[in-house]
Amino acid sequence: MTSDGHTSSTQSGFFSNSGELGGAQPQFTEICTALYERELLLIAHKGPSNVSILRRRLAGLPHHIRSVARYLIDNPSPLDIDPHNGSWFIKQPGKCPGISQPTDKKYQWYRQYADYGLVLPICITTLEGIHIELDSIDSVNHTTHTLHTNKHGWFSFDGEVAHSEIEKNQLNAEHDTSRFTDANAVLKRQLLKPTTAIMASACSGHMWRHKSKGAPRALSLREMRLSTHINWKNFTLKGQA
């Protein structure tokens, strides 16, 4: 019963803050509700089994959702917002942008700008098609010209996957042919150099089937939070030239 009361109190506090943006209150509340519903559904189906981790994740939802909602309301980006779905929106290009980026351009850019916390785009290929995910750097090795992303692991500055021994074993498991019945199984990861078109498509959840556009995917709260840390001026960390 104590747990239920804490949850009720947290949710009450969450929605009681919806008036903090004055005239934008209805839109703010709508975005918060959409984000809340989407993340709870994701947690219900794919959330952590560890109770302690689950509690911490649920406890942090109000703060993170309010932060994302405020950013969407202010909208300091070239994107529109869809308040009903709590998401970014921009017209989808016919083909995935950046799919044929020159490796030397990527290498030069990441050699200069790769740094801890930088938000970057990763092109993901599955059986169903292609999409671009947002990730962030948590480690850089300028000696080996590699960087490590929080979700997708090691990449070389030229955009190709760079495996540690542990990640090689994980990759082998992913590419086990018995898994190919899973349409969401990752077949290929490729680090892209950020551009406006690429980052806009990543934020908007654009997907491309093999011969047509696909319905946009819903970004997780983690990706929505990353979208609020994009420096749309030049895609580097703020303060960098």
CB atoms inside a 10 Å sphere around CB 188: 12
Task: Say what the pLDDT of residue 8 is.
Answer: 44
Question: What whole-number distance in Å separates Cα of residue 241 and Cα of residue 234?
Answer: 8
* Residue 7 banded pLDDT, cuts 50, 70, 90: very low
Question: What whole-number distance in Å separates Cα of residue 79 and Cα of residue 143?
Answer: 37
Pick the range with the lowest mean pLDDT from 11-20, 40-49, 214-223: 11-20
Task: Give residue-wise pLDDT tens across range 41-85.
Answer: 999 998 889 999 999 999 999 999 999 999 999 878 899 999 999
Mean pLDDT of 177-196: 79
* Eight-class DSSP state of 186: E
> Does residue 214 surpass a pLDDT of 60?
yes
Task: Say what the pLDDT of residue 9 is.
Answer: 45
Mean pLDDT of the chain: 86
Task: Say what the pLDDT of residue 181 is.
Answer: 52
Which tokens sit at 222? 């983690």
Task: Give residue-wise pLDDT tens across range 105-153.
Answer: 999 999 999 999 999 999 999 998 999 999 999 999 999 999 999 999 9
Question: What whole-number distance in Å separates Cα of residue 121 and Cα of residue 99?
Answer: 11
